[in-house]
Amino acid sequence: MGGSRTGDLLSLVKASAPGKIILFGEHAAVYSRPALAVPVTQIHVDVEVLDSSRKGIWIQAPDIDLHAELGSLPADHPVGSVVLKVFSTLGISSAPALEISIASTIPVAAGLGSGAAVSVALIRALALHLSNPLTDERVNRLAFEIEKIHHGTPSGIDNTVITYNKPVYFIKGQPIETFKVGKPFTIVIGDTGIPAPTKESVGAVRHLRMRDQYTIEDIFNEIAQIALIGRRSIESGKPELLGELMDQNHEYLQTLTVSSPELDILVETARKAGALGAKLSGGGRGGNMIALVRQSNAEAVAGALISAGAKQTIITEVS
Ligand code: MEV
């Protein structure tokens, strides 16, 4: 993952960014509690930027059915806004003619970071093409600004784990902390297939907190403890302890009303099929769940999830 330039004559630049899952701490992260997230490299966004012979900035993103010239898109368009942001950051007033192509294997609105991954890969590729490669810190900052346009009050966890492509222990507004995985472990990701924009579930938690601030803050504090213990378990090579933590975290997310019947069914199915623990991951109310499994049991859990209605599963090793 990252960016590269091939052949100066053609001036083709490519960059990629991975998907992500949140192991612990979604939603509480928005209120400055710690959260743990890891990249998922089996799914990714790949961006190519090429000099063009036709005038304008042409964007092709077949996965979201986008084939358009930049000028025809609204200023807050999820892809167009990234291009405009890069131009304004680099002080480019008249951009060269470009063809931008975006391909993604990350399901959209599924809690796997597809929006942040498009931003990160596109920022990197465009900046590199314009001979202004950006540091990870700047890429992350720009991607966060884009997240704020589209997700209301994001914590910044998605753009951070995706930019750095490493496990992160994230606290909003604090310096980035990556952490080491003491012993690799296996996660099965199950997709409900139900699109669930993060903005909506984050808004629902905000309303809940407005009605009963003390109870919700207590829940955030419990989740923060889970994230902290989770980090210690991972670093000290005891990932098997994460199962129970996942179960507890899922219960708190249910209380925050961000689970859904479909997510609960998949979580329960994974446990019955032998997973050590399971929870929803990301914004919730649809999207994906994750289950901690023994490697030898991963296929069986993935199969059980499909039988229970999952549209797709991914087996990933966190290392
Ligand atoms: C989304 O992946 C995670 C949430 O906590 C929102 C955020 O932190 O920005 C639900």
Q: Is the pTM of this model over 0.85?
A: yes
Q: How many angstroms separate the alpha carbon of residue 25 from the centre of ligand 1?
A: 9
Please, which residues bridge with residue 104 across strands?
45
Q: Which amino acid is at 271?
A: R
Q: Which of 153, 157, 168 to mutate to test the pocket of ligand 1 (most atoms within 8 A of CB)?
A: 157
Let me know if 158 is a catalytic residue. yes
Burial class (CB in 10 A: 0-12, 13-18, 19+), 265: middle
What percentage of residues in the chain have a pLDDT greater than 70? 98
pLDDT bracket for residue 6 (50, 70, 90): low
Which of 4-13, 179-188, 227-236 has the lowest average pLDDT?
A: 4-13
In 171-220, at which residue ranges do the beta strands (DSSP E only) sit? 177-178, 185-191
User: How does pLDDT run across 260-309, given as a tens digit for each residue?
Assistant: 999 999 999 999 999 999 999 999 999 999 999 999 999 999 999 999 99
Closest CA to 189 of 272, 105, 287: 287
Give yes or no for a contact between 298 and 181, defined as CB atoms under 8 angstroms apart.
Answer: no
Mutation choice for ligand 1 from 202, 209, 279, CB with most ligand atoms inside 8 A: 202
- The pLDDT confidence band at residue 245, using thresholds 50, 70 and 90, is very high
Structure letter (DSSP) for residue 259: -
Most distant CA atoms of the chain, gap in Å: 61
Q: Which strands sit side by side in the sheet containing 185-191, from one edge to the other?
A: 277-281, 288-293, 185-191, 312-318
**Closest residue to atom 10 of ligand 1, CA basis:** 283
Write the DSSP symbol of residue 311.
Answer: S
Tens digit of each residue's pLDDT (9 = 90 or more) over 203-223: 999 999 999 999 999 999 999
Residue 204 CB neighbour total at 10 angstroms: 17
> For residue 292, how far is its CA from the centre of ligand 1 (angstroms)?
20
pLDDT band, very low/low/confident/very high, at 4 (cuts 50, 70, 90): confident
Centre of ligand 1 from the C-alpha of residue 281, in Å: 9
Of 63, 158, 247, 264, which residue is the catalytic one? Answer: 158
DSSP assignment letter at 169: E
Q: Which helix (H) or strand (E) holds 123?
A: helix 114-129
Ligand 1 atom with least separation from CA of 111? 2
For the stretch 74-102, pLDDT in tens is 988 999 999 999 999 999 988 889 999 99
Q: For residue 153, how far is its CA from the centre of ligand 1 (angstroms)?
A: 9
